[in-house]
Chains A and B, each alone.
Chain A
Amino acid sequence: MTLTIPTFSLASIGPWLTLSLGAILILMWDALCAKGQKSFFAEISLLAVAVAGLQTYWLWNKTGTDFARMIYVDNFTFLFYAIILIGTALTVLISRHYLEDYDKDLGEYYALVLFATVGMMLMAASAHMIMIFLGLEVMSIAVYVLAGLFREDVRSNEASLKYLVLGAFASAFLLFGMAMLYGAAGGTLYLDDLAKRLADAGTLMKPLTLLALGLLVVGFGFKVAAVPFHMWTPDVYEGAPTSITAFMAVGVKAAAFAAFARVMFLAFPAFHVEWNMLLWVLAVATMTLGNVVAIAQTNIKRMLAYSSIAHAGYLLVALVAANQLGAVSILYYLLAYTLMNLGAFGVVILVGRKKDSYLSIYDYSGLGFQHPGLAVAMSVFMFALAGIPPTAGFVGKFYIFSAAVQAGYIWLAIIGVMNSLVSVFYYLRITVLMYMKPAEADLGPVTFTPGLTAVLVITAAGVLLIGIFPGFFYNLAVNSAKVFPGL
């Protein structure tokens, strides 16, 4: 018996290798170096991310599959790589000072962040259900640990455990769904084969297929925090270290949406009408619950947690639309969301100070005239999250609702914009507190570290620039969305 090893090119997974190497290097350094020495973990991580970014750039415009059709090598994948890498880089930048405060500037933190990033990229590239599962687990397990980084903190423990238990449950759903799909489709889990096997109505309407689809939606719904699978989100977001909350809100969501979109657009296009109604309901429920409950929050992290649920809802609208523009808007919106959300969390870390002692939204009172720069940045992020021009958030929402209208879902678009209106209320409240309320107490000095300052400047400028000049990223996204010719 001869065993043929299919040809593959390591270059097509170059970014993963770089990040993994970086992570291993950090772990080795951490193990071998004496305690108390100055560490360069953040620098190594950033370097690894930069190199991975460069490799992604070199890969750009390649098409096809690799590793025995297990992964896609296409622009949709690469744009997601870019979004995920930006998220990771910004997360690393906001982490250091925050971790030092807690005396937790540890090697494993950065290594786990890099590993999680690899998992995310894996999800974005998957061409096979098993790869999606692999990526999901690589990402999730790292994030479970990161959420519990503050071992001594009860809330952090709670976050980690809750995420782990519910996450494992959701993974099981996903896996179970895949198993059924394997049976329903007659023994394949390649996404493009699935599309062919599921093309006729007979196969589609088999209870097995429907069940498989339902379970897949549950699994993905959990990862993107869609209602009613969102229960973990507020507690986990609140309890986890703020930098990891940002990472979860941005990176995990982007990766899950990459896989979600790919599966829906590629494997089930013939099934469009059925899963659309399902997602329509999910989208409406997610937007509405996220936004309405966010109004009642007084903890800024919880507020942003619910806001992130709402944003998942907007992204689901784009999935429902299921057209080229929908795919484009998912990419564009995730990029915009990465910038504005990480920026907002950067401000949360800066204002939170000394072990997160200032996390109430009322701690932002009077910020506007005590720390004008910080408040302006926060306002930019808040207005962007609320979707007010001229920010990237507005353009992103504009694309999403365009996609919905184009696909004929006018009611969905109306519900969506009305949700934006609700969201304006709680985002606006932060600016009200910052500019229109006197400080409840002297805020005292805020330590601007180079990393955090850089994040705020980059994200605020980015949010405005890609809001005012959306053309470049629009073209990139259009180029990437071409991988779904069926839409």
Chain B
Amino acid sequence: MLPILSILIFLPLLGVGVLVFLDPKNHKTLKLFTLGLSLVEFLASLPLWFSFDHQTAAMQFVERRAWLPQYGISYYLGIDGFSLLLILLTTFLTPLCVLATWEDIQHRVKEFMICLLALMSGMIGVFASLDLFLFYVFWEVMLIPMYLLIGVWGNPARRVYAAIKFFLFTMFGSLLMLVAILVLYFYNGQATGTYTFDLLKIYGLSIPFHMQFWMFLAFGLAFAIKVPMFPFHTWLPDAHTEAPTVGSVILAAVLLKMGTYGFLRFNMPLFPEAAYYFVPLFSILALIGIVYGALVSMVQKDLKRLVAFSSVSHLGFVMLGLFTFTMPGIQGGIIQMINHGLSTGALFLIVGMIYERRHTRMIADFGGLSTPMPIYATIFMIVTLSSIGLPGLNGFVGEFLILLGTFKTNPVYATIAATGVIFAACYMLWMFQRVMFGQVTNPKNENLKDLSTREIAIFIPLLLFIVWIGVHPNTFLDKTKATTKNFIAMMEKAKGTKVSLSQVFKGEAR
């Protein structure tokens, strides 16, 4: 069988190799080449979907090669239901992103495309790695192209600040995670006699609670920053707002998911007792994120910042769902990751398109855009509704499942979270009203051009999936069912540990 995952990881790097030798002045060729390559990549990723066996929770498409066997490090790839959807989301969005750069990126196109492809390779690597060392390498490598995307092509005024902030925040968390990985590695080595970074081998390890406690926090910090959970979210509005459109799309759609994915793949299964112990803390942080993100979105004057803060709120839902450890909660969380990728990605594209035309993103500069731009208005409306969770569109499915799962475990949390849905409707619809409806008050808006065919073409696939997930979510839920079941069974074993904090600090908790 073809090593599909390796192909997906290294094809973009091969593309980088080719791009280096292309003429930097010929933008068209550069963009066409990247578009072609990302389409090939997408096609190459389709077999993952069709040959995926959704009956089993075992890792599939496994590839394993020795890398540094003396150290127990291997090049070990494989996917299950969780990673399948996220990898497909990545390969699905990248061609759309390349299309979106057509008019947007006009200088240093070659370098931009190189960064984009390198980023893609890193993202797929993160989702496919089953070796802690390999995962860490991809996790860090991916920072560099994203940092450059924000810093070089971002908004001139504050791009450097945003880029450095992004880099340092993420690095801070991941370095502590590195120490925790090492502690885990040596603990596992001493306990079992085999020193390995193989994630699946470490899964079954029973770790004393006080160690789980600290390691959960170390891993959790890295992922919570990436998600981002309140109070580690402050890098996000800056990074999102200053990044170029495509940077924001990828950041929102894929990079944030690495945080939530990290919780699912690493934090919870590795440290199950600690995960249960931290349910209240993380749920409450998630709730704060939901409500706080929504409230802050409401008062934003800048469209892009509004969308950015709405991400904090949406990701809060995901985290809340994951920390229920119930079937609907986790499945909802995963589907909500995809939803957020589609809807928020689309919202950033929408904002980017209006910015290309007007060079402003201030809500106050707009008003009545639906008159000159009817197609734009329609698409914007659908995406807005999807984002606030209208039944029949994708957002509803995710949020409903998450609330269902949460209600089962803690009705109070569910009630508070439900207010988030209402707030979301408030800020999104209010924003939509101010931008699209009413009379055209600003004469500059009178003759805005509606979407071009290229721009519509970007949205059609997005809208297709927005409706598809909304109408028939089972297509996607089925893929994650077995994995989720297995995951919950794994977590169930750890349920019911009662430990107090003082025991942890004294190192008594076993």
Contact = CB atoms under 8 A, between A and B. Distances in A.
Interface stretch (B172-180, B271-279, B334-342, B392-400): B172-180
A436 B115 CA distance: 14
A361 to B, nearest CB: 14
Band of interface residues on B: 20 to 34
B136 interface: yes
B70 A471 contact: yes
Contacts of B168: 421, 424-425
A436 B152 contact: yes
Contact of A435 (B67, B151, B182): B151
B71 A390 contact: no
Contact of B183 (A383, A410, A436, A470): A410
Given A418-B175, A424-B168, A390 B137 contact: yes
A421 B164 contact: no
A475 B70 CA distance: 8
Interface string A376-412: 0000000100001110001000100110011000100
Contacts of B171: 421, 424
A69 to B, nearest CB: 32
Contacts of A413: 179, 182
Contacts of A436: 151-152, 159-160, 163
A113 to B, nearest CB: 35
B384 to A, nearest CB: 34
B298 to A, nearest CB: 33
B176 A471 contact: no
Contact of A406 (B70, B163, B186): B186
A471 B183 contact: no
B164 A414 contact: no
B148 interface: yes
A402 B136 CA distance: 14
Interface string A423-444: 0110010001001110000000
Interface residues of A, number: 30
B412 interface: no
Contacts of A420: 175
Contacts of B152: 435-436
Contacts of A389: 136-137, 140-141
Contact of B182 (A388, A402, A425): A402
Contacts of A390: 137, 141
A414 B182 contact: no
Contacts of A425: 164, 168
Interface in B158-216: 159-160, 163-164, 167-168, 171-172, 175-176, 178-179, 182-183, 185-186
A398 B179 CA distance: 9
Interface in B134-162: 136-137, 140-141, 143-144, 147-148, 151-152, 159-160
A77 to B, nearest CB: 22
A369 B160 CA distance: 17
B144 A470 contact: no
A420 B136 CA distance: 16
B176 A417 contact: yes
A405 B188 CA distance: 13
Given A383-B144, A390-B137, A432 B164 contact: yes
B2 interface: no
Contact of A474 (B70, B141, B147, B172): B70
Given A401-B182, A405-B182, A471 B67 contact: yes
A437 B178 CA distance: 32
Contacts of A410: 179, 183
B68 interface: yes
B370 to A, nearest CB: 38
B25 interface: no
Contacts of B495: none
Nearest to A437: B160
B108 interface: yes
Given A405-B182, A428-B164, A432-B164, 6 more contacts: A406-B186, A417-B176, A418-B175, A428-B167, A471-B67, A471-B68
Across the A-B interface, give the 4 residue pairs with the lowest CB-CB distance, nearest first: A417-B175, A405-B182, A389-B137, A436-B151
Interface of A: 369, 383, 388-390, 394, 398, 401-402, 405-406, 410, 413-414, 417-418, 420-421, 424-425, 428, 432, 435-437, 470-471, 474-475, 478
Interface of B: 67-71, 108, 111, 133, 136-137, 140-141, 143-144, 147-148, 151-152, 159-160, 163-164, 167-168, 171-172, 175-176, 178-179, 182-183, 185-186
26 contacts: A388-B140, A388-B141, A389-B141, A398-B133, A398-B178, A401-B178, A402-B182, A405-B182, A405-B183, A410-B183, A413-B182, A414-B176, A421-B168, A421-B171, A421-B172, A424-B168, A424-B171, A432-B160, A432-B163, A436-B152, A437-B160, A471-B68, A471-B69, A471-B70, A474-B71, A478-B70
